[in-house]
Structure 1
Amino acid sequence: MRKSIVVAVAAALLTGMVAPDATAAPGRSDLRQAMDEIITAGAAGVQVRLHDSRGDWMGAAGKRELGGRDGVPVNGRFRAGSVTKTFVATVVLQLVGEGKVKLDDPASRYLPPFGLDERITVRMLLQHTSGLFDYTGDVKSDGSVEPGIPLSGQEFVDKRFHTYSKRDLVKFALSKPAKFAPGTNWSYSNTNYVLAGLLIENVTGTDWAEQVEHRILRPLGLRNTSLPGTNPNIPGPHAHGYLGYQHGGARRVVDITRQNLSWGNAAGEIISTTADLDKFITALLGGKLLAPAQLAEMRKVRSLSPSGAYGLGLAQMKFPCGISVLGHNGGIQGYRSDMFSTADSSTRYEVSVTTAAVDLADPAQEQRLEAAKLKLGKVIVCGEAG
């Protein structure tokens, strides 16, 4: 799950653009063009679902598999990565509403005895202000990278079916120095949400995934959404994702569709469809999953840039036309996803991108793909492509 969320790329892409007419609905030809640009930027395929003033629309571009003839299924399943965090945060806030958890209590009160800093609250876990090291790797203050578990290149390919224990992931993260004192800064860390999953388990006595299914998936009828645990397969129709990398002086491209997402756990293992994610974000922002007080807490954001902010498992992104959207994005090897909506749900969009030969360990290639995906969001929300 990439750490930049929507903020860093959004700030780079949106700065200095002229605001268009905020009431304009996107031309569908502009959408097609933006989707084609995502393919050009290094994607194998892309599928899009949107709702706006012109109604509902679905579309896809690219291929289901590299070298194949079949197109991307318009409602295929995909790995949605860190979109998982919004589901997990929703369950924690439901427990808050039930009086079983307090947001500003020390998180250690609800967790196993990891020796967690008593200053870290439940709220800090959900908002990424705990300062905890990210077990997937973190950038140090001097700009160098402190590596985490192997998630790139040949080392990841060789270990893609390895099963990770969530407690071992937390212990590994806690063996590293904190980035800052709790509550004094913001830094995206998947460790926070593995801990949030453990918190749910300790409070309810059942697995966090079971709570997500019981409290969200079943009530909303999200039949094509699943939490696979160690199962490496994607059920149902789906496009394939690929990992490009250099090894031994040669370029390699590996089909990475099948992988064990135990390393993602409550931070990023979910599989879903654009239709299910649309139901979820609509229900969430419409008050069907959280009481008004808890939804208001979720939407209390910490500003990170002129165009980006983060609440409790909910990101906020402001486009140059002045319109803001709420939701989350996700990044898993082979897959990139978006789930965003205006606060009143009048404009919503969900995107799944399957990566091709692009090397996402290369910052320039990563930024090019993310910029193309963000441009698609801009076309949808602002109604213009320039």
Structure 2
Amino acid sequence: MTTPPLRPRRRRSPLRAAAAALLSAAPLLVPVPAQAAPREAPVLDRATADRFVRDHLARTGVPGATVTVTRGDRVVLAAGYGHTAAGEPMTARTPVPVASLSKAMTALAVTTLAEEGRVDLDAPVREQLPEFAPDDTRAARITPRQLLDQTSGMADSTHPDLALPQPSTLKAAVAALHGTRLATDPGTAWHYHNTNYAVAARLVETATGTPYAEHLRRSLFAPLGMTGTGTVDTTADMPDGARGYVRAYGRTIERAHPRLFTAGGFGVVSTADDLGKWLIAQHTEGTSATGRRAAPAEAVRLTRTPPPRQTYAMGWNRREEQGQPLRIEHTGSLFTHNSMATLLPASGVGIAVVTNTGMVSGDDAPLLVDGLVDLAEGRTPADRAPFTDTADPVLGLLSLLA
């Protein structure tokens, strides 16, 4: 079965296609074996975490990062390291784009509305959002649940959203789906696609009668005390336009970020301090460290529960390897930043890292997280090298050939 677009698409350059693939990258989906019995993890203290982060940044040359570590309802570390692209020192209160970590927040907004009876996760989206009208009869069967677990059938292959003219509002992002077709039948295949979350965010607006950013602020960020957190519509609306760094050819190159529409899928800007509050709310299943409830416990659990035989839930991916404890996590990538958040349910540890490096160096945040996970589990961190260490010789060779 073929699903060609109804109107011609302009040809995408290889660089733009590669960049779109990077921005759409999601955690690797792996089979989930039976969960190992919970075990008590060693205590990861602030000094140990801080020393590891400083050593890692000095060794790898990451210009700047924010790092948050929590355990239970306590913040172990919330700090900034290095500097921003503007030359300002990074601190625990430096606003940073968290990229696709935003998806878990959008998902929680939707599942909370479902618990309140204002959204039906299993009724067709079109019945709840009539403006959602891809030119494919199968789209009438897409549900909000399928948007959130990325099984709607929409995909970059039929709607390359990052390579198309960028909308300015969620309503325009949904309208841009007119004339598109699905890649697969709804509910039959997994495709990581940012537009799923733009549609979900627009559904929040129509269900509440409130702009998406304002709803997140009132219903989620304010109750959790995340006063330095908000969501924006485009990368141009991010602090300093999401300016950061690209690392290539052994150099760290400062650069501006192109304007991309971000709302719903990757538009949240937060701080190390506030990400600590978000991680604690994941551990407590919806309450702040002060006991204020921001979301029903069932809504939180639902965002971390994947469909049968899948590992991707709703803005979170479940990862469990033989002999290792369950990790619930998600990564995020921009041209100039990358991020990762990981939860270790067995020990109550949460970790969130954002670095101001992107593109080829899209693994800086995951490397830091993996090292902190090692420490939290009582292991000596493995000597992990950034991808740029192996990519630079390849880039050099390609440049010579070109």
Q: Same fold (TM over 0.5)?
A: yes
**What residue number does 1:256 align with?**
256
Distance 1:188 1:282 in 2: 27
Of 102, 127, 133, the match for 2:149: 127
Q: Assess if the C-alpha contact under 8 Å between 1:341 and 1:348 holds in 2.
A: yes
Contact 1:39–1:45 (Cα < 8 Å) also in 2: no
- Which of these residues, 58, 61, 76, is aligned with residue 56 of structure 1? 76
Matched, 1:47 2:49: no
Q: 1:118 to 1:150 in 2, by over 3 A?
A: closer
In structure 1, which of residues 266, 269, 285 is the aligned counterpart of residue 267 of structure 2? 269
Distance 1:39 1:359 in 2: 20
Q: Conserved in 2, the CA contact under 8 Å of 1:30 and 1:379?
A: no
Q: Which residue of 2 aligns with 1:291?
A: 296
Deviation at 1:343, TM superposition (A): 3.1
1:36/1:336 Cα in 2 relative to 1: closer, same or farther (>3 Å)?
farther
| Among 319, 322, 339, the residue aligned to 2:324 | 322
Say if 1:260 and 1:99 are closer, same or farther in 2 by CA, change over 3 A: same
CA distance in 2, matches of 1:173, 1:77: 32
Equivalent residue letter for 2:215:
Q
Q: Using the alignment, how far apart are the partners of 2:377 and 2:234 within structure 1? A: 40
1:217 alignment partner, SS class: helix
Partner in structure 1 of residue 112 of structure 2: 94
Question: Quick one: distance in 2 between partners of 1:381 and 1:303?
Answer: 30
Task: State the match for 1:109 in structure 2.
Answer: 127
Unaligned runs of 5+ in 1: 12-20, 141-145, 152-158
| Correspondence for 1:229 | 233
- Which residue number corresponds to residue 346 of structure 1? 348
Is the 2:68–2:272 Cα contact (8 Å) retained in structure 1?
yes
Residue 382 of structure 1: aligned partner: 377
Show structure 2 runs of 5+ residues with no match. 1-21, 31-38, 288-293, 383-402
| Segment of structure 1 superposing worse, 372-381 or 276-285 | 372-381
TM-fit CA distance, 1:4: 3.4
Residues 173 and 164 of structure 1, relative CA distance in 2, 3 Å threshold = same
1:337 aligns with 2:339: yes
- Aligned counterparts of 2:354 and 2:28: Cα–Cα separation in 1: 19
Deviations 1:36-81 (A, max 9, x none): 4466556322221212499712455443348x5x643244210011
> 1:1-386 residue pairs with structure 2 within 5 A?
2-7=23-28, 23-26=41-44, 32-33=51-52, 36-37=55-56, 43-52=62-71, 56-65=76-85, 71-116=89-134, 117-134=139-156, 138=157, 147-150=160-163, 164-173=168-177, 175-229=179-233, 232=236, 234=238, 241-243=244-246, 253-256=253-256, 260=259, 263-287=261-285, 288=287, 289-302=294-307, 309-318=311-320, 322-343=324-345, 346-355=348-357, 359-360=359-360, 365-366=361-362, 369=364, 372-384=367-379, 385-386=381-382
The one-letter code matched in structure 1 to 2:373 is K
SS of corresponding position for 1:48? strand
Q: Is the 8 A contact 2:104 2:303 kept in 1?
A: no
Counterpart of 2:69 in structure 1: which amino acid?
A: L
Q: What amino acid maps onto 1:164 in structure 2?
A: S
Any idea what the Cα deviations from partners look like across 1:181-222, whole Å, max 9, x if unmatched?
111121111111100011111111121111111101122221
1:163 Cα deviation after fit: 5.6
- Cα displacement (A) at 1:317: 2.9
- Asked if structure 2 preserves the Cα contact closer than 8 Å seen for 1:36 and 1:61, the reply is no
Deviation at 1:346, TM superposition (A): 2.2
Higher relative contact order (CA 8 A, sep 6+): 1
Q: Is the 8 A contact 1:284 1:290 kept in 2?
A: no
More strand by share: 1
Q: 1:129 to 1:253 in 2, by over 3 A?
A: same
User: Deviations along 1:313-354, whole A, 9 cap, x unmatched?
Assistant: 333233665222334332222111222323367211121111
Question: Structure 1 residues 252, 178: closer, same or farther in 2, change over 3 A?
Answer: farther
- Cα–Cα, structure 1 residues 22 and 176, in superposed 2: closer, same or farther, change >3 Å? farther
Q: Which amino acid in 2 is paired with 1:264?
A: T
Shift of 1:125: 0.5
Q: 1:190 to 1:359 in 2, by over 3 A?
A: closer
Alpha carbons 2:65, 2:82 under 8 Å: kept: yes
CA shift in 2, pair 1:231/1:329, >3 Å:
closer
Correspondence for 1:154: none
* Conservation of the 8 A alpha-carbon contact between 2:107 and 2:148: yes
Greater shift in the superposed pair: 179-188 or 166-175: 166-175
